[in-house]
């Protein structure tokens, strides 16, 4: 999907990976044809890796398009000295924790029922643990530990 808003172009790519030289060449050709000054890539570990590859390729080829990587991930795999908490992780765990807390309140009134909550992500253990620290459920199963055993 491509949207044109004055001189801003918004493109949603989904999970397209830049893996071969042709992808880099196509990206360079499109950015040059659109006369783009800059490109912002919003995403996690993979997206920012590809943003870096694009930036290096564009610089090597003399392309004027500057590439900016903006970390957003619920996987929490981009934490470093400069990024303490990516906004996707923080938002997801706050929203999940609120919903888990609501379910915990509901569970108190139903003595013969169990409520099971599954959290998604590439490896969601840190999301589950953060939510558990916030809302104190009776039990937390960590997918990576279950898989190992």
pLDDT of 100-131, one tens digit each? Answer: 888 888 777 777 777 788 877 666 688 888 88
- Pair 66, 91 in one domain: no
The Cα–Cα gap between 104 and 98 comes to: 10
Inside any domain, residue 77: no
- Pair 44, 91 in one domain: no
Highest mean pLDDT pick, 11-20, 22-31, 101-110: 22-31
- Pair 118, 142 in one domain: yes
Inside any domain, residue 20: yes
Q: Residues with Cβ < 8 Å from 12, sequence gap 6 or more?
A: 1
Structural domain count, the chain: 2
- Pair 67, 91 in one domain: no
- Pair 42, 101 in one domain: no
Q: At what angle do helices 21-33 and 45-61 cross, to 10 degrees?
A: 70
Inside any domain, residue 59: yes
Inside any domain, residue 12: yes
Residue that finishes a domain, picked among 24, 41, 71: 71
The Cα–Cα gap between 24 and 117 comes to: 41
In terms of residue numbers, what domain contains 130?
Answer: 87-148
- Pair 95, 63 in one domain: no
Inside any domain, residue 142: yes
Mean pLDDT lowest among 9-18, 27-36, 127-136? 9-18
Q: Which among 75, 77, 90, 112 is annotated as catalytic?
A: 75
Do residues 44 and 78 touch, judged by C-beta distance below 8 A? Answer: yes
The Cα–Cα gap between 47 and 70 comes to: 9
Six token digits for residue 74: 């619920």
Active site residue 106: no
Residue that finishes a domain, picked among 71, 106, 125: 71
pLDDT at 28: 92
pLDDT at 106: 78
pLDDT at 68: 92
């Amino acid at each position: 999907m491509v949207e044109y808003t004055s001189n801003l172009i918004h493109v949603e790519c989904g999970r397209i990976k830049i893996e071969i030289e042709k992808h880099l060449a196509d990206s360079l050709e499109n950015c040059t044809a659109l006369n783009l000054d800059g490109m912002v890539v919003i995403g996690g570990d993979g997206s920012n890796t590809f943003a870096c590859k694009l930036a290096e390729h564009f610089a090597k080829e003399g392309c004027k398009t500057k590439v900016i990587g903006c970390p957003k991930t619920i996987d929490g795999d981009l934490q470093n000295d400069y990024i303490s908490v990516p906004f996707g992780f923080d938002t997801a765990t706050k929203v999940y924790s609120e919903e888990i807390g609501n379910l915990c309140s509901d569970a108190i009134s139903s003595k013969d029922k169990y409520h099971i909550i599954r959290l998604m992500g590439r490896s969601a253990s840190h999301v589950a643990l953060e939510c558990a620290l916030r809302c104190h459920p009776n039990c937390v199963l960590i997918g990576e530990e279950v898989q190992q055993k």
